[in-house]
Amino acid sequence: MNLSRRMAATAVLATAIAGTVALTPQASAATKAAYNGVCGSGYKVVNSAPIGSKGTVFLTYNSAKGKNCVVTVRNATGKAVPMFAYLYVQGADESAEDAGAYTAYAGPVYGDGRGKCVDWAGGIDNQSTWTYESNCGSLKAHRVTKGW
């Protein structure tokens, strides 16, 4: 993802976080985030990245559907805070994001990633992690991650 596209995506997410308040179902409080299965049946975790000390963003894949899914999960539920989940499929110019104030998780967001590299990200409150050119048609976890 080039810098201008990344900046545009960040601006969209910041606007959505500032203007959206939504609550998600409560997840159990835990010291470390675990994938919560919200992408649906057949989705397996193929990559993940910590979001500082606040949670984890998970990249999942369903080989029968050829779809990726991203979800951001907090380490512990609590007061709603700004969160986002983001997925961009390279070569397809397809992106999806979910942003708002959530108590447990943001997402899921989906994209048709069969045979393509994906960029994916997650953020919780004032911390975020962005992963570029990941997996690239492989279930092998490969990432170039930038955390802020």
pLDDT digit string (tens) for 35-89?
A: 999 999 999 999 999 999 999 999 999 999 999 999 999 999 999 999 999 999 9
Domain, as residue range, for 104 = 44-147
- Give CA–CA dist 45/75, Å, rounded: 17
Residue 104 forms part of a structural domain: yes
pLDDT digit string (tens) for 95-135?
A: 999 999 999 999 999 999 888 999 999 999 999 999 998 88
Residue 32 forms part of a structural domain: no
Residue 19 forms part of a structural domain: no
The pLDDT, as a whole number, for residue 94 is 83
- pLDDT surpassing 70 at residue 12: no
pLDDT digit string (tens) for 22-31?
A: 333 333 344 5
Report the Cα–Cα distance between both ends of the chain, in Å, rounded: 17
Q: Are 125 and 137 in contact (CB under 8 A)?
A: no
Residue 113 forms part of a structural domain: yes
- Written as six digits, the tokens of 129 are 């992690």
- pLDDT surpassing 70 at residue 15: no
The pLDDT, as a whole number, for residue 67 is 95
What's 135's DSSP letter? S
- pLDDT surpassing 80 at residue 142: no
The pLDDT, as a whole number, for residue 136 is 83
- pLDDT surpassing 80 at residue 4: no
Residue 21 forms part of a structural domain: no
- Give CA–CA dist 121/5, Å, rounded: 14
Instruction: Please count the structural domains in the chain.
Output: 1
Residue 22 forms part of a structural domain: no
Residue 86: give its domain's CATH number: 2.60.40
Residue 72 forms part of a structural domain: yes
Residue 4 forms part of a structural domain: no
Q: What is the mean pLDDT of residues 9-13?
A: 43
